[in-house]
Amino acid sequence: MIDTTDRLEALCDRARTLPAVALDTEFVWERSYYPGLGLIQVGLGGDDVHLIDTIALEGQMGALGEVLADPSVVKVLHDATQDLQILARATGTLPVNSFDTQRAAGLVGQTATASLQDLVEWAVGIRLDKGETRSNWLKRPLTDSQARYAEDDVRYLLDVYQKLRDEAQARGRAEWVDAEMERYNDPSLFEESDPNDAVDRLKVRGIGRMSGRQRAVLRAVAAWREVEARDLDRTRRMVLPDEALAAIADRMPETADDLRRLRLTDRQVARYADGLLDAVQAGAEAEPERVQRRGRPGPEDEKRAARLLVAQGFLAGRCEREDIDSALVATKAQLAAIVEAGPDAVADAFPGWRYDFVGRDLEGLLRGTVAVRLDAGDGWPVAG
């Protein structure tokens, strides 16, 4: 275990001499807003695997931050986004030159949601044991089983990376893979989400029946809860559950007693009443949210649905024939927005390789200059 700054610095000095290093994190995320980081795994190739004890180091992670910030070293991770965000928070450094094996897999005939187990088996023929997935990584000492599990998460990751690189090169998609990895260099990936968007996370019934004013209050109290949860480093539900926020937006309380009548505990009222009531007032005074009621579909709705079905079939066919996971090109929601916006929106929605791969034909399809037919061989929709 790397449990002193001297040992961490020595490891990171070695890592910075290599073209690529494998990284992973183990954390517990049950009662806190932010994941509780318990362990960082570093793979330098083969069995040269190391476990960084973040508990023992007590936040002294500057040496690892230098590795993350070094553009000459590729940081290889699987399903990279959350791990990179955790590492950035732990080190205070924005990572650069990262490679996500899961995302790359979707461009070389695998799925973009492939598990590490599946990719390791594909690359080196070994099936990993995932028996410690639910372990408490904050507890010390780690068991031998935990240590083996954690080490295996990076032991073969550089082999997977090389296999993906080779496959991308063989398929003429190395530049596509490189372009996909640029997303992990975007500083916005590491920014806190906008509290005003927290309302979109709510999972509670009855929102669709709220008035525009009630929805404005709901947005305001959800934003208040988001900030409170961050400041306290507690889960959103530990601050107030979604159901309580919906009840507050529905009734729009004005006093602490009003909050008690909504079944908030005395402790919650004592701690949160001032902030909550301020949020309710701010929401009530804000511009009411626009409320869209669903009516019966008309001819334009049916045309829009038909265009979307054609576009979906075309995209699915192109991706199937070219062995690319369609989720990397566009989700159903993204494609629906593009079809709604029309052909002029395609170029911006499908930048880089996506435009050459599918965007140009989709643009023609929406303009009516490209037709779609069923291929006589495999039955998939094709342009032409």
Contact 301, 311 (CB under 8 A): no
Is the preceding omega at residue 141 within 30 degrees of 0, hence cis? Answer: yes
| pLDDT at res. 125 | 97
pLDDT in the model for residue 382: 84
Q: Tens digits of per-residue pLDDT, 284-323? A: 999 999 887 666 777 777 888 899 999 999 999 999 999 9
Question: Tokens 């007590």 — which residue?
Answer: 58
> Range(s) for CATH 3.30.420.10 in the chain?
5-190
CA distance 152 to 103: 20
- Mind listing the pLDDT tens digit for each residue in 314-355? 999 999 999 999 999 999 999 999 999 999 999 999 999 999
pLDDT tens for residues 368-382? 898 888 888 888 888
Instruction: Please tell me the distance from the alpha carbon of residue 325 to that of residue 314, in angstroms, as a whole number.
Output: 14
For the chain, list the strands marked E by DSSP: 20-28, 36-43, 49-52, 74-77, 98-100, 372-374, 381-383
Burial class (CB in 10 A: 0-12, 13-18, 19+), 376: exposed
**5-190: CATH superfamily:** Ribonuclease H-like superfamily/Ribonuclease H (3.30.420.10)
Q: What is the DSSP letter of 2?
A: B
Of all residues in the chain, the percent with pLDDT exceeding 70 is 99
Q: Rounded to an integer, what distance in angstroms lies between the CA atom of residue 286 and that of residue 311?
A: 39
Tell me what pLDDT residue 304 has. 85
Specify the CATH architecture of the domain 195-285: Orthogonal Bundle (1.10)
Residue-level pLDDT at 383: 83
Question: Quick count: other Cβ atoms within 10 Å of Cβ 313?
Answer: 15
What six digits make up the tokens of 305?
Answer: 């649905």
Per-residue pLDDT reduced to its tens digit, 237-294: 999 999 999 999 999 999 999 999 998 999 999 999 999 999 999 999 999 998 876 6
Each residue of 22-40: pLDDT tens digit?
999 999 999 999 999 999 9
Residues in the chain, total: 384
- End-to-end alpha carbon distance in the chain: 60
Structure confidence at residue 293 (pLDDT): 67
Does this model's pTM top 0.85? My answer is yes
Q: 154-167 pLDDT, tens per residue?
A: 999 999 999 999 99
**DSSP code for 263:** T
* Strands 20-28 and 36-43, bridge-based pairing: antiparallel
pLDDT of residue 299: 77
Q: CA dihedral in degrees (277, 278, 279, 283; nearest 10)?
A: 100
Of 41-50, 123-132, 171-180, 229-238, where does mean pLDDT reach its minimum?
123-132
Between CA 42 and CA 163 the distance in angstroms is 19
Q: How far apart (Å, rounded) are the C-alpha atoms in residues 362 and 2?
A: 52
pLDDT for 133 equals 72
The set of residues, in sequence order, having a beta carbon less than 8 Å from that of 273 and lying 6+ positions away, is: 256, 259
Please give the mean pLDDT across all residues of the chain: 95
